[in-house]
């Protein structure tokens, strides 16, 4: 385990505000770097500090009551926010997927598999980069409204995993066309692998390849 992965594992278990977690992470990385410069090996440092779970437990014991309350309140807010945003995104998915009929992508001639694949990758990359203005610009009006609340999207992502790590690769993409009330949509489901987790995305696009639905799990 690298020192950065070790620190991330500690920070992931801290019961405090996001600001405090960032502060502790920076301090840990700085302390470890200083110890290495003084001749101590990374393995020796991690052995001295104990497992990530043990180190996190020690930090949590020394956190102020204010930080502990902030963490508890934050978790409740995030849980509610996650439910709200997931329900909103799931509603879009239900409307466009369960009700309409589906066909192999390309059946209508309106969609090209390679172009849809590129658009899927672009949307996920924008999500990873937190480029919400670009995401909204690439979406239909109803999705623009959903994406206006950037913090709720971030809460959903953190609810899946606090630390996704760096993007690694895309899995196989499953694509289809769906039609409802005369409207044609491209559907895609793909799992993206990150350093510390896997996320399955479900995306919908209109004929202009504007994002019309998004679901993460």
Structure tokens at 141: 């009006």
pTM: 0.57
The string of pLDDT tens digits covering residues 159-217 is 888 789 899 999 999 999 887 666 788 989 999 999 999 999 999 899 999 998 888 88
* CATH 3.40.50.300 describes domain 86-216: no
Average pLDDT of the residues in 113-119: 94
DSSP 14: -
For the chain, the structural domain boundaries read 3-63, 86-216
The string of pLDDT tens digits covering residues 54-69 is 888 888 887 777 766 6
Structure tokens at 136: 């909204």
Question: Phi and psi for 7 in degrees, rounded to 5?
Answer: -65, -45
Q: How far apart are CA 213 and CA 104, in angstroms?
A: 19
Alpha helical stretches, state H, the chain? 3-12, 18-37, 42-49, 52-61, 65-93, 113-128, 132-137, 141-146, 150-160
């Amino acid at each position: 385990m690298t020192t950065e992965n070790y620190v991330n594992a500690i920070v992931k278990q801290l019961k405090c505000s996001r600001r405090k977690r960032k502060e502790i992470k920076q301090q840990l990385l700085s302390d470890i770097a200083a110890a290495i410069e003084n001749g101590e090996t990374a393995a020796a440092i991690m052995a001295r500090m104990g497992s990530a779970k043990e180190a996190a437990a020690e930090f949590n014991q020394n956190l102020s009551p204010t930080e502990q309350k902030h963490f508890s309140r934050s978790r409740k807010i995030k849980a509610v926010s996650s439910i709200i945003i997931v329900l909103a995104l799931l509603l879009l998915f239900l409307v466009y997927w369960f009700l309409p009929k589906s066909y192999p992508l390309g059946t209508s001639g309106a969609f090209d598999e390679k172009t849809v694949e590129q658009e899927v990758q672009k949307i996920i990359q924008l999500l990873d980069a937190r480029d919400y203005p670009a995401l909204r610009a690439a979406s239909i009006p109803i999705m623009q409204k959903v994406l206006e609340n950037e913090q709720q999207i971030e809460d959903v992502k953190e609810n899946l995993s606090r630390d996704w790590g760096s993007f690694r690769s895309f899995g196989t993409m499953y694509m289809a066309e769906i039609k409802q009330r005369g409207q044609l949509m491209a559907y895609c489901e793909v799992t993206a692998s990150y350093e510390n987790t896997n996320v399955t995305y479900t995306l919908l696009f209109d004929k202009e390849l504007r994002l019309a639905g998004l679901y993460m799990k």
